[in-house]
Amino acid sequence: MVIKRVFRVLSASFFLITGGIILIFDRNNTKPIYKGLKYFLEHESYQITLKTLTSDPKTKELIESRYQQNKPIDWDMLKSLPPETLGFQFAKFMNNPVVTPIDKLPESKNEISPELDYLRQRIRITHDIHHVVCGYPADEIGEMGISAFYVAQINSPLNSMLLAFGLIKCTIKFPQRLPELMDIITEGWILGKKTQNIFGIKWEEMWNLPVSEVREQLGLQPSSLCKNVA
């Protein structure tokens, strides 16, 4: 039992550290990170996050009902909505060439357990909706902001590690941008603490609402990086 646990920790550490180093040079290559995650789920840090998520009644309901599991998104419908709506802005965000298409996400290829697989897939699919609602652009600074937001909301260990590697990358490659990065990380943490839990939201039932109204319902002040519809 002890040997098995040590193996899992060492395997997780190898993939996560290797993945973090790769992300410094290629921010779109997340495969090693997710391989490490498979081994790391028993670690206390992930158990804290899982407990935080499942203790939220709305998130628990999504998990138990498998809300929207395997249901394709009607992109044509979203594109036909008024420009100020969440649905239209989400479709617009996903049309950015730097954003990974939903059907290419690594979660769809890594199976662990029905509950965890659903939760991981749900979070990753809605991650880009979070970008729109929180006002974080699809760039490295935006990812750092939303990672800090996630750490504030659910104590996310994966995102805390992404923040660590992001700071290392910035120090090595763009040291002049460190103050800007620290401002965004600080802002993301504060916004995450102030905002209603966003992981149990049925976003698909809010496509027709203006983004501003969605933010108002959540008590969310958009990031200073926000450039989408107010």
Tell me the per-residue pLDDT of 115-145, one tens digit each, with 9 for 90 and over.
888 888 899 889 999 999 999 999 989 999 9
Higher pLDDT, 38 or 68: 68
> Is residue 27 very low, low, confident or very high in pLDDT (cuts 50, 70, 90)?
low
User: In sequence order, what E strands does 34-192 have?
Assistant: none
**Closest of 163, 160, 121, 131 to residue 144, by C-alpha:** 163
Q: Helix H segments across the chain?
A: 2-25, 31-40, 44-54, 57-65, 75-79, 86-94, 114-134, 140-154, 157-173, 178-194, 211-218
SS3 at position 182: helix
> Is the confidence at residue 35, as pLDDT, over 80?
no
Mean pLDDT, the chain, whole residue set: 83
Q: What is the pLDDT of residues 52-75, one digit of tens each?
A: 999 999 999 999 999 998 888 999
Gap between the Cα atoms of 101 and 1, Å rounded: 40
> Is the confidence at residue 48, as pLDDT, over 70?
yes
Gap between the Cα atoms of 197 and 149, Å rounded: 10
β-pair partners for 85:
210
Gap between the Cα atoms of 195 and 190, Å rounded: 9
Mean pLDDT on 182-197: 96
Q: What is the pLDDT of residues 195-217, one digit of tens each?
A: 999 999 999 999 999 999 999 99
Mean pLDDT on 159-180: 90
Residue carrying structure tokens 């002040």: 221
Please state the pTM of the whole predicted model: 0.83
Q: Looking at residue 100, what is its pLDDT?
A: 72
Residue 187: CB atoms within 10 Å: 18
Q: Looking at residue 230, what is its pLDDT?
A: 46
Q: Looking at residue 136, what is its pLDDT?
A: 95
Phi, psi of 210 (to 5 degrees): -60, 145
Q: Looking at residue 44, what is its pLDDT?
A: 77
Gap between the Cα atoms of 223 and 218, Å rounded: 14
Mean pLDDT on 31-42: 62
Q: Where are the domains of the chain?
A: 1-42, 45-218
